[in-house]
Structure 1
Amino acid sequence: MKIHDRLRSAREGVQGDRGSYAVETAILAPVMISLLLLMVGFGRVTEADGAVDSAARAAARAASLERDAGSAQNAARAAAERSLLGEGITCTVSSIEIDTGGFSLDLGVDAVVTARVACTANLSDIGLPGLPGAKTLTASWSSPIDTYRGRS
């Protein structure tokens, strides 16, 4: 086989692949975009989960520093809301529950305050078919009440 014949067959092989890049792009582009959107959704859920956990921790700690159940409830709610706002998380529905039963125990008895925070993170703006429109994330955290500090 002469060199001239080899070059001709090589050119014909290249011309037979015409348009294959367009077909590959048309097939792979939606897959790549879907993967990117899935990563954005996963990142958003992970960030919101960390923020809810941080809010529960802040609420429990703020409640444990108070001397009575009423002020502990107020301080915990305010701390959880500040924590969520500070993290930049906007919950469509949120609930903050504080268990202040430890304040009714006698002085010298180990007691804790438990905070439960639930937040529904919005995912509907991502626009990926099959992805839920919202995800509810919950976290619970306990903090000890000073055993020998006066309680009301």
Structure 2
Amino acid sequence: MTARRADRGSVAVELTLVVPALVLVLGLLVAGGRLWFARATVVEAAQSAARAASLARSAGAAGADGRAAGRASLGTAGLVCLDTRVEVQTAGFGVPVGTPATVRSTIGCTVPLGDVVLPGLPGSIRLTGEGAAALDTYRARR
């Protein structure tokens, strides 16, 4: 009976040591998942911007449509950006009809860590995404 008394309370001590470590690991997994989602959202927004730009008839309209689509995609996903930069490269509109061409877009978004990882966490992270879409080879371009 003496050995049994010596072990009393050991389960409580083990739980006190193990539970905080498990909670920390779980928190890191959640934070990593939310950060991955934010990165994927920026890449998806860049792809949407390129696709919208590729459907336009002129380079000017493509730039405007691509920027609007990129910002709309970020807003729809609920990603809060401290500053957003949407660039659409429309050089493909200068290529003659019948020649394959591509429209590219780049989106940069500075996301506060408090929105992505843990509420109240200071700092921010800069996320960048790139997208590309082919122009219709035989459609007229202006």
Cα distance, 1:99 vs structure 2:
0.6
Given that 2:92 and 2:101 are in contact with CA atoms closer than 8 Å, whether structure 1 keeps it comes out as yes
Give the counterpart of 1:68 among 49, 58, 62.
58
Identical columns (%): 40
The CA distance in 2 between the partners of 1:14 and 1:137, in whole Å, is 57
1:80 alignment partner in structure 2: 70
The CA distance in 2 between the partners of 1:123 and 1:29, in whole Å, is 25
Deviations 1:66-108 (A, max 9, x none): 1111111111111111111222222223221111111122222
Task: Say yes or no: does 1:55 pair with 2:55.
Answer: no
The CA distance in 2 between the partners of 1:137 and 1:55, in whole Å, is 12
Given that 1:93 and 1:119 are in contact with CA atoms closer than 8 Å, whether structure 2 keeps it comes out as yes
Task: Say yes or no: does 1:19 pair with 2:13.
Answer: no
TM-score, normalised via structure 2 length: 0.85
TM-score, normalised via structure 1 length: 0.80
The CA distance in 1 between the partners of 2:101 and 2:122, in whole Å, is 40
Task: Say yes or no: does 1:28 pair with 2:18.
Answer: yes
The CA distance in 2 between the partners of 1:46 and 1:105, in whole Å, is 37
Structure 1 or 2, whichever has the larger Rg, is: 1
The CA distance in 1 between the partners of 2:84 and 2:7, in whole Å, is 56
Q: What does 1:78-117 align with in structure 2 at a 5 Å threshold? A: 78-117=68-107
1:126 alignment partner in structure 2: 118
Cα distance, 1:143 vs structure 2:
0.7
The CA distance in 2 between the partners of 1:77 and 1:54, in whole Å, is 13
Deviations 1:28-71 (A, max 9, x none): 23211211110111110111122112111110010001111111
2:139 alignment partner in structure 1: 149
Please list every run of 5 or more consecutive structure 1 residues that lacks an aligned counterpart in the other structure: 1-10
The CA distance in 1 between the partners of 2:37 and 2:85, in whole Å, is 18
The CA distance in 1 between the partners of 2:29 and 2:109, in whole Å, is 20
Given that 1:45 and 1:121 are in contact with CA atoms closer than 8 Å, whether structure 2 keeps it comes out as no
